[in-house]
């Protein structure tokens, strides 16, 4: 069970809000992030660093796209699919976006049911999230195959126009796909922990040895929503721009 | 107080945000579908993107209910990226200019 704030006053001290709250939190000679388990604060710090990594990729992409003298391939056409005899622009990417957003929705609900100690619902929702993540990666594999095999796009050249299209595409979507794949693996691990009741019994984790609790579902959720968040930016800047 | 640190909110808010994200995603897809071009396209893309990102961070990631000490630590540093964005744009313009000059000279 979680502990009340550790002070000698016998009960939790009320925390000021607003700017005085920031000053009070940082000058308290205790942990600075109140009401947040340290694991969650550390996940946020990691996500901040990951934000900078993805931003470096996207800004590099902007730089090479702005500076190339070759025409940039039109993503709307490159990622179109012929469905039922009609060519629909960018449809594959749109479906991938909806799949990832839906997985974020189920993840948010898994966190909620986790804190309510509803093990079955949390497990099912986590597994559903993982399934949608795997679907996303599968569709990405399909997209890569189509581009590499059918269109002849390579990281160093491509027949559609600027060579930089291939390099930035494989770099950015590859890195994002790796994040999704790692997320799917961890979702399955957390789902199994939830189903077995490890989090209720506070069983130590096999990797960290930390006592199990439902905060890890929320921390997992932060990572998963971040993956969705990055996709929002990739979708806007790479596929729609 | 059991679970003073957990985030507990009604399920309904997640479903509403989920629906809103679907609407916003559909809107950004339609920007491409209807072949909007130029500043209208870019403005719509960026606005829809920021709205979606904001909703995800604020509600799904619970930033709305965190204390400001954490919020500022996470949200303020990425603003620095605008500087990198500016430097990248300057550099790109310069590279494009030199390339254009070089390729034109080669043609002559």
Looking at residues A120-148, what average pLDDT do you find? 96
Do B7 and B24 sit in the same domain of this protein?
Answer: yes
- Give pLDDT, residue A85: 76
Q: What is the DSSP letter of A81?
A: E
Enter the pTM of the model. Answer: 0.91
Rounded to two decimals, the ipTM of the complex is: 0.91
The total of structural domains in chain A comes to 1
Do B38 and B71 sit in the same domain of this protein?
Answer: yes
Interface A:B, Cβ pairs < 8 A = 178
Would A11 be classed as within a structural domain? no
As a whole number of angstroms, the distance between CA A16 and CA A6 comes to 17
Would A3 be classed as within a structural domain? no
HSE of A19 in the Cβ direction (CA atoms, 13 Å)? 0
A53 touches chain B (CB under 8 A): no
Would A236 be classed as within a structural domain? yes
- Looking at the partner chain, which of B14, B92, B99 has a beta carbon nearest the beta carbon of A105? B14
Residues A90, A79 contacting (CB under 8 angstroms) = yes
Do B85 and B99 sit in the same domain of this protein?
Answer: yes
Would A133 be classed as within a structural domain? yes
- Look at A59 and B48 and tell me if their CB atoms are within 8 Å: no
* pLDDT tens per residue, range B43-52: 999 999 999 9
The DSSP bridge partners found for residue A86 are A83
As a whole number of angstroms, the distance between CA B38 and CA B44 comes to 10
Would A7 be classed as within a structural domain? no
Mean pLDDT of chain A: 91
Q: Looking at beta carbons, which pairs linking A164-170 to residues 24 or more positions away fall under 8 Å?
A: A164/A61, A164/A64, A164/A65, A164/A68, A165/A72, A165/A73, A167/A64, A168/A57, A168/A60, A168/A61, A168/A64, A168/A65, A168/A238, A169/A238, A170/A144
- Look at B93 and A228 and tell me if their CB atoms are within 8 Å: no
Query: At A94, which CATH number?
Result: 1.20.120.80
Do B102 and B69 sit in the same domain of this protein?
Answer: no
* pLDDT tens per residue, range A34-93: 888 889 999 999 999 999 999 999 999 999 999 999 899 988 888 888 888 778 888 899
Do B41 and B60 sit in the same domain of this protein?
Answer: yes
Q: How confident is the model at residue B85 (pLDDT cuts 50, 70, 90)?
A: very high
Would A41 be classed as within a structural domain? yes
Do B68 and B40 sit in the same domain of this protein?
Answer: yes
* pLDDT tens per residue, range A5-16: 555 656 667 888
Domain extent for A113: 18-240
Would A13 be classed as within a structural domain? no
A221 touches chain B (CB under 8 A): yes
Which chain B residues are closer than 8 Å to A97 by Cβ? Answer: 25, 29
The total of structural domains in chain B comes to 2
Cα angle A184, A190, A191 (rounded to 5 degrees) comes to: 85
* pLDDT tens per residue, range B57-84: 999 999 999 999 999 999 999 999 999 9
Would A188 be classed as within a structural domain? yes
Do B46 and B96 sit in the same domain of this protein?
Answer: no
- Give pLDDT, residue A6: 57
Chain A CA closest to residue B85: A59
Q: How confident is the model at residue B1 (pLDDT cuts 50, 70, 90)?
A: very low
The DSSP bridge partners found for residue B107 are none
Domain extent for B80: 76-108
Chain A CA closest to residue B44: A236
């Amino acid at each position: 069970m979680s502990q009340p704030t550790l002070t000698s006053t016998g009960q939790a001290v009320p925390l000021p809000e607003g700017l005085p709250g920031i000053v009070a939190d940082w000058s308290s000679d205790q942990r600075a992030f109140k009401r947040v388990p340290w694991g969650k604060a550390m996940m946020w710090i990691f996500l901040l660093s990951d934000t900078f990594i993805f931003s470096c990729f996207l800004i590099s992409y902007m730089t090479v796209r702005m500076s190339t003298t070759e025409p940039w391939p039109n993503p709307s056409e490159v990622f179109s699919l012929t469905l039922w005899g009609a060519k629909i622009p960018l449809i594959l990417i749109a479906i991938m976006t909806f799949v990832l957003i839906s997985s974020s929705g189920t993840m948010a609900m898994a966190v909620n049911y986790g804190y309510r100690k509803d093990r079955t619902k949390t497990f099912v929702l986590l597994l559903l999230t993982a399934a949608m993540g795997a679907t996303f990666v599968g569709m990405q594999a399909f997209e890569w195959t189509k581009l590499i095999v059918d269109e002849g796009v390579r990281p160093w050249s491509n027949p559609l126009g600027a060579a930089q299209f291939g390099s930035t595409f494989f770099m950015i979507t590859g890195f994002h796909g790796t994040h999704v794949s790692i997320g799917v693996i961890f979702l399955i691990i957390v789902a199994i922990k939830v189903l077995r009741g490890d989090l209720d019994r506070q069983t130590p984790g096999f990797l960290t040895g930390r006592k199990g609790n439902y905060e890890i579902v929320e921390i997992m959720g932060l990572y998963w929503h971040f993956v969705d968040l990055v996709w929002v930016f990739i979708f806007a800047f790479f596929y729609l721009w | 107080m059991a679970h003073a640190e957990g985030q507990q909110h009604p399920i309904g808010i997640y479903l509403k945000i989920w629906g809103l994200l679907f609407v916003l995603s559909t809107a950004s897809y339609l920007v491409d579908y209807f072949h909007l071009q130029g500043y209208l396209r870019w403005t719509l893309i960026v606005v829809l993107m920021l709205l979606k990102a904001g909703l995800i961070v604020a509600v799904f990631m619970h930033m709305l209910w965190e204390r400001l000490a954490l919020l500022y630590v996470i949200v303020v540093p990425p603003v620095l990226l605008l500087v990198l964005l500016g430097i990248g744009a300057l550099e790109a313009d310069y590279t494009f200019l030199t390339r254009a000059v070089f390729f034109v000279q080669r043609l002559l």
